[in-house]
Amino acid sequence: MNNIKEYSDKINEEVTAVLSKVDLEETKTFLDLIQGARKIALYGGGREGLMIRALAMRLFHLGYEVSVAGDMTAPFLTTGDLLILSVGPGYVSTIDALRSVAQRDGATVVCLTAQPDGKTARAADKIVYLPAQTMADDSESKATSVLPMGSLYELVLFVFNEIVVLELLKRTGKTFGEARDRHTNLE
């Protein structure tokens, strides 16, 4: 347990380094698309999916019509709607299938990714590049993070999404209190 500060410092350093490289125009476009969407659905697999669910919850708290793809209450997406995907490694066949269906029916697709040259990322309408280690590049010879597998990407994704929420609060003039008013009472 003597390594808590050492690990904490290194992880903070890594997250800060990645977030400092995120393109501001990509982020602005992402925010614009969220604000302009009629309906928003989100999806990510595994631990990325947990981070995406956290963003979905906060978007709901901000008053957006939002759902998580795969849940039985997810709506039909079409023109004017937005599908936000997290695909750290740039391609996952099941996530790519969701992208394809959404685009076929007219929805706009944004891909949050660490691998912008992956098939799903390239095929999305817009991407937000979060240049962090994922399982696609965590082998011993390529690993750069103190964290295992895709943990750095997942942590960056969570922090980036919280920054998006803060920026949406600022853009809309909403307060934390207004967001809290939409929090469930069924916990």
Residues involved in catalysis: 154
| Contact criterion met (CB below 8 Å) for 127 and 113 | yes
Beta bridge partners of 110: 84, 126
Which residues have CB under 8 Å from 15's CB, separation 6+? 152, 155, 156, 159
How far is Cα 161 from Cα 61, in angstroms, rounded to an integer? Answer: 14
Distances (CA, A) of 154 to 50, 70, 79, 131, 173: 9, 20, 29, 11, 28
Which residues have CB under 8 Å from 138's CB, separation 6+? 145, 148, 149, 150
Q: Side by side, which strands form the sheet with 66-68?
A: 66-68, 40-44, 82-86, 108-113, 126-129
